[in-house]
Amino acid sequence: MNALRFLPLVSGLVLAPFLLGVVNRVKAKFGGRTGQPLLQAYFDLFKLLRKGAVYSRTTTWVFRAGPVVGLAAVLGALALLPAGRHAPAAVSFTGDLFLLAYFLGLVRFVTVLAALDTGSAFEGMGASREVQFSALAEPALLVALAALARLTGGLGLTQITSALGPASWEVAGPALALVALALCIVFLAENSRIPVDDPNTHLELTMIHEVMILDHSGPDLAFILYGAALKFWILGALIVNVAVSWIGGGAAITIPAFFAGMLLVSVGVGVVESVMARYRLLKVPRMLWVGVALSVLAFTLIGRFTA
């Protein structure tokens, strides 16, 4: 099993930008376009890494630290993540699911600080929106993780994932489905996807996440984009770890199933973005409340199932 120890970490590092290519390809197909190359995200990253960065005179070290600390935190979160029942995470210990939540919180915190540091009205607005929405997305994520912990009796991501299996679905299938659904909502919100945010828009006034990173350039922007791709992978992996746990069998089945699941999540995001419009900004909290409600319901149900 030792050989598999670094599989989740390395595959995340290598494959995360590819998923964004899949999303774009699906959207292009729906729009009747050829679409950009599947590997475009990698090309963009390499292009940005070769460029210089421009810093406004009004910014301080906070602005420069944002992308670096943000990327480091995402990497930390990625290291805690298993890839299915038979591929444990590179780092795991009891209680690491709290560290995951805090790592994700830290990413947001430094991004918001860097945005505020620019002193721009746009970035201030974006920061305000980001914080407002994450105040609702975070409880949904934490309660969903707590529900899983309650079901499996473990407080570590690897413990939880390896304990989940076809048997758990027999015991608490509906609750697990609710958890997966709540995680999907958190996933869309945290990754700034439609219907919460539009990653493709050029309209500053409507942006949430994108407007906060307007002033970053060059390698800093590459760090942020790569970090965003990794975040997409991390939150996607949380969904997949729950959703594909009903598949039985050994590592030869569950590990490919995990990667197929990740691909499916990307296709799903592409489909959602193709068939629906963005919500009006002030209606987004309603959707996030649904996420919170679903995870609380799952948590309560699991109490019943395991009693």
Partner 1 sequence: MTDWRNACAIPLAGLADLSVWDFQDCVSVGLMKGAQLLALFGVPARVGGRQDAVAGGHQDAGASEDPDCVRLFAVLGHPGNGTLEPFSTVVKDSFLSLAPIHPQVQLFERELAEKWRVKPQGHPWFKPVRFERPSRDGADLWEAHPAACGTADFFRVGGEEVHEVAVGPVHAGIIEPGHFRFQCHGETVYHLEILLGYQHRGIERALTGGPGPRTLHFMETAAGDTTIGHATAHCQLAEAVFGLAVPPRGRVLRGVALELERMANHIGDLGALAGDVGFLPTQAFCGRIRGDVLNLTARLCGNRFGRGLVRPGGVAFDAEPARVREVVRLLEQALADATGAIDLLWESGSVLARFEGTGPVSAETATRIGLVGPAARACGLSQDVRRDYPCGIWADAPIEVPTLSTGDVFARARIRWEEIRVSAEWILANLADLPDGAVRAPDAPPTAAPWPADTLAVSLTEGWRGRICHAAVTGPDGRFAAYKIVDPSFFNWFGLAQALRDQEISDFPLCNKSFNLSYCGFDL
- Amino acid, res. 247: I
Could you give phi then psi for residue 119, rounded to 5 degrees?
75, 10
Kindly state whether residue 200 participates in binding partner 1, applying the rule CB under 8 A.
Answer: yes
Instruction: Match 């945290």 to its residue by tokens.
Output: 190
3-state SS, residue 204: helix
The DSSP code sequence of 222-280 is HHHHHHHHHHHHHHHHHHHHHHGGG--S-HHHHHHHHHHHHHHHHHHHHHHHHH-PPPP
- Using CB under 8 A as the binding criterion, the count of chain residues that bind partner 1 stands at 31
CB of 86 to partner 1, least distance (A): 38
Kindly state whether residue 36 participates in binding partner 1, applying the rule CB under 8 A.
Answer: no
Peptide bond into 199 cis (omega under 30): no
CA–CA separation, 70 and 89 (whole Å):
21
| Of residues 124 and 218, the one with the C-beta less far from partner 1 | 124
| Of residues 142 and 267, the one with the C-beta less far from partner 1 | 267
Kindly state whether residue 281 participates in binding partner 1, applying the rule CB under 8 A.
Answer: yes
| Of residues 194 and 296, the one with the C-beta less far from partner 1 | 194
Kindly state whether residue 20 participates in binding partner 1, applying the rule CB under 8 A.
Answer: no
| Of residues 30 and 102, the one with the C-beta less far from partner 1 | 30
Q: Which of 273, 297, 299, 302 binds partner 1 (CB under 8 A)?
A: 273
CB of 212 to partner 1, least distance (A): 14
CA–CA separation, 17 and 232 (whole Å):
9
* 85-144 binders of partner 1 (CB under 8 A): 121-122, 124-125, 128
- Under the rule (CB under 8 A), what is the footprint of partner 1? 27, 30-33, 121-122, 124-125, 128, 194-195, 198, 200-206, 273-283
